[in-house]
């Protein structure tokens, strides 16, 4: 199925260039917004489309923009979150590298809607190549009068620049990202105040994920009704589902919300790698709890995955087949969070270290009898007391592995697991 919205035309040769993007109807949505719609009407249309954020939290985008537009403080800012740090997520990169003008157009429409004159695309440090492509695209758009002063002859000014943070997963969290953009360590700020009121340099800021912005041109051009005819009742439109790990055809598949996990694995991702047996799936990246084969019929929208006991997050589906050791899987995820904990608050900084220590002992068979339960206790303390989303979610995946595969943990602890013996000594 050809990608209907976000990645539409991505296969077109050289769609990265402004000329080809415009041939395919690019910047027509911006033109329509500027000519035929008031800023409030744009916000209204996005609300009506029921667009929710694609960065992980699923917050309604129209509402966010309304809050920014109603804050009297100026200047206001538009920020595209191009951190793409959640393990298993690789849906924004193709937009940045292959069809950057869709993002820029979406940001310009947002700027018009909320009354912002400046926008920043904030890339993760490792995105040197995407950042270069984006800078070229911005320069092209400026040259053509699509960014800058008096865009399309209207009383509308909007400039965009591209920024790179320097390698820290926490910078994907919106307030950490703002700290990094202000030249500081990316440690989260207390919320409230939320970025909509106090964002970049304490000014009202509409901060959205790259994929979120990339839906906007379609909503404006085709209308909210056409857009929300795709998807489920709660989640309109399409999603760039990332699926990787043990599947035959890992990739990003843009599909309407409402597809089931089974359908995605079997009919899009080519089934489980080499015909192996499915063991579990982390549906929303490293911060999500795993789902077992019993959950194959779960619908992949935000409420349904939550009802199944996990979260869709950025729709980063990491698929694990038999015979993978779940203690090792837990350790990989736990080490990731230990490495990425920003250190601001003790529950997370200590909790992530202790989780790794306990898991390591379990894997080596040198742990104590109560260590598995100790991880569960620790997890509940950290979940309740951590300062930001990283700490609140980070032990969930380990807890879910213990819940579904406890026997494997016990076998390791008792030195009966064959899979990890080689690690001894």
Ligand X SMILES: Cc1cc2nc3c(=O)[nH]c(=O)nc-3n(C[C@H](O)[C@H](O)[C@H](O)COP(=O)(O)O)c2cc1C
Among 15, 21, 43, 56, binds ligand X (CB under 6 A): 56
284 binds other proteins (CB under 8 A): no
Contact region with ligand SF4 (CB under 6 A), list: 75-83, 87-95, 342-350, 370-378: 342-350
Q: Considering CB distances under 5 to 8 angstroms, the limit depending on partner class, which of ligand SF4, ligand X, other proteins, none binds residue 81?
A: ligand X
In degrees and rounded to multiples of 5, residue 209 shows phi and psi of -70, 155
Pick one of ligand X, ligand SF4, other proteins, none as the site partner of residue 282 (Cβ within 5 to 8 A by kind). Answer: other proteins
Among 386, 401, 413, 420, binds ligand SF4 (CB under 6 A): 386
Contact between residue 252 and residue 327 where contact means Cβ atoms under 8 Å apart: no
- Site for ligand X (CB under 6 A): which residue of 3, 20, 37, 57? 57
* Token code pair at residue 243: 């699926």
Site string for ligand X, 155-194 (x = CB under 6 A): ---------------x-xxx--------------------
Three-state DSSP class for 422? helix
Name the minimum Å distance from CB 122 to ligand SF4.
18
Q: Crossing angle for the helix pair 61-70 and 39-48, nearest 10 degrees?
A: 150
- Identify which range of 34-42, 79-87, 104-112, 299-307 contacts ligand X by CB under 6 A: 79-87
Please confirm whether the linkage preceding 75 is cis (ω < 30° from 0).
yes
> From the CA atom positions of the chain, what is the Rg in Å?
22
Count CA atoms within 13 Å of residue 183 on its CB side. 1
Cα 271 to Cα 16, 252, 253, 320: the distances in Å are: 32, 15, 14, 12
**10 by DSSP, 3-state: which?**
coil
* Closest CB to ligand X among residues 55, 119: 55
Least Å from the CB of residue 89 to other proteins: 6
Q: Residue 387, interface with ligand SF4 (CB under 6 A)?
A: yes
* Selection from 413, 421, 420 nearest residue 328 by Cα: 420
Nearer to ligand SF4, 170 or 325 (CB): 170
55 near ligand X, judged by CB under 6 A: yes
What is each CA distance from 184 to 171, 172, 177, 188, 246, in whole angstroms? Answer: 11, 14, 10, 11, 38
What does the angle CA 298 – CA 302 – CA 303 come to, to the nearest 5 degrees? 75
Please give the residues from 336 up to 395 whose contact with other proteins meets the rule CB under 8 A: 336, 339-340, 342
Of 136 and 350, which has the nearer Cβ to ligand SF4?
350
Q: Which two tokens stand for residue 300?
A: 């992949």
- 312 forms beta bridges with none
For position 208 contacting ligand X by CB under 6 A, the verdict is yes
Q: Specify the residue, 7 or 194, whose C-beta has the smaller distance to ligand SF4.
A: 194
341 touches ligand SF4 by CB under 6 A: yes
CA 361, CA 359: separation in Å to the nearest integer? 5
Q: Which residue shows structure tokens 């089931």?
A: 260
H/E stretch holding 161 reads strand 159-164
Please tell me whether residue 77 binds other proteins under the rule CB under 8 A: no
Is residue 92 near other proteins by the rule CB under 8 A? yes
Report the site for other proteins in 300-339 (rule: CB under 8 A): 316, 318, 320, 324, 328-329, 332-333, 335-336, 339
Task: Please answer whether residues 376 and 399 qualify as being in contact, where contact means their C-beta atoms are separated by less than 8 angstroms.
Answer: yes
Residue 41 is classified by DSSP as H
Within 38-134, strands assigned E span 77-82, 118-123
Q: Is 343 one of the binding residues for ligand SF4 (CB under 6 A)?
A: yes
53 counts as binding ligand X under rule CB under 6 A: yes
* From candidates 26, 186, 217, 367, binder to other proteins by CB under 8 A: 186
Instruction: Using alpha carbons, select from 29, 66, 27, 70 the residue that is nearest to residue 48.
Output: 66
* 391 forms part of the interface with ligand SF4 (CB under 6 A): yes
56 contacts which partner out of ligand X, ligand SF4, other proteins, none, CB within 5 to 8 A by kind? ligand X
Strand, coil or helix: what is 254?
strand
Q: Which does 344 bind (CB under 5 to 8 A by kind): other proteins, ligand X, ligand SF4, none?
A: ligand SF4
What 3-state DSSP class applies to 209?
A: strand
DSSP 8-state secondary structure symbol assigned to residue 188:
P
Binding partner of 184, given ligand SF4, ligand X, other proteins, none, CB within 5-8 angstroms per partner class: other proteins
Shortest-Cβ-distance residue relative to ligand SF4: 391
The contact set with other proteins (CB under 8 A) reads 84-90, 92-93, 124-129, 132, 161, 163-169, 180, 182-186, 242, 244-246, 250-252, 282, 286, 316, 318, 320, 324, 328-329, 332-333, 335-336, 339-340, 342
Residues that bind ligand SF4 (CB under 6 A): 170, 188, 341-345, 348-349, 386-388, 390-391
């Amino acid at each position: 199925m050809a990608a209907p919205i976000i990645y539409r035309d991505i296969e077109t040769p050289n769609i990265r260039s402004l000329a080809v993007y415009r041939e395919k109807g690019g910047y027509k949505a911006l033109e329509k917004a500027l000519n035929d719609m008031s800023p409030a009407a744009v916000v209204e249309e996005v609300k009506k489309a029921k667009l929710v954020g694609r960065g992980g939290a699923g917050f309604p985008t129209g509402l966010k923009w309304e809050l920014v537009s109603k804050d009297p403080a100026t200047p206001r800012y538009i920020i595209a979150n191009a951190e793409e740090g959640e393990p298993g997520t690789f849906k924004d990169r193709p937009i940045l590298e292959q069809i950057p003008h869709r993002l820029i157009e979406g940001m310009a429409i947002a700027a018009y809607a909320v009354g912002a004159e400046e926008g920043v695309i904030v890339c993760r440090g490792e995105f040197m190549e995407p950042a270069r492509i984006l800078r070229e695209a911005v320069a092209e758009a400026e040259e053509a009068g699509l960014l800058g002063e008096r865009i399309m002859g209207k009383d509308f000014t909007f400039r965009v620049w591209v920024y790179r943070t320097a390698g820290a997963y926490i910078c994907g969290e919106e307030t950490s990202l703002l700290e990094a953009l202000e030249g500081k360590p990316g440690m989260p700020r207390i919320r409230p105040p939320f970025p909509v009121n106090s964002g970049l340099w304490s000014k009202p800021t509409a901060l959205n994920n790259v994929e979120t912005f990339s839906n906007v041109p379609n909503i404006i051009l085709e209308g909210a009704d056409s857009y929300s005819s795709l998807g489920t009742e709660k989640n309109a439109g399409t999603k760039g589902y990332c699926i990787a790990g043990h599947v035959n055809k890992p990739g990003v598949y843009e599909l309407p919300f409402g597809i089931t996990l089974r359908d995605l694995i079997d009919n899009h991702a080519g089934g489980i790698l080499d015909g192996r047996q499915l063991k579990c799936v982390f549906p929303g990246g490293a911060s999500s709890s795993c789902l077992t084969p019993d959950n194959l019929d779960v619908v992949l929208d935000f409420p349904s995955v939550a009802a199944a006991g996990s979260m869709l997050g950025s729709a980063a589906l990491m698929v694990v087949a038999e015979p993978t050791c779940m203690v090792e899987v837990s350790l990989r995820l736990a080490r990731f969070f230990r490495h990425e904990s920003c250190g601001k608050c003790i529950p997370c900084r200590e909790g992530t270290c202790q989780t790794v220590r306990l898991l390591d002992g379990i894997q080596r068979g040198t742990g104590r009898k109560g260590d598995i339960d100790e991880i569960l206790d620790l997890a509940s303390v950290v979940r309740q007391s951590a300062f930001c989303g990283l700490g609140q979610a980070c032990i969930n995946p380990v807890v879910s592995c213990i819940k579904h595969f406890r026997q494997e943990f016990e076998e390791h602890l008792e030195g009966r697991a064959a899979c990890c013996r080689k690690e001894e000594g």
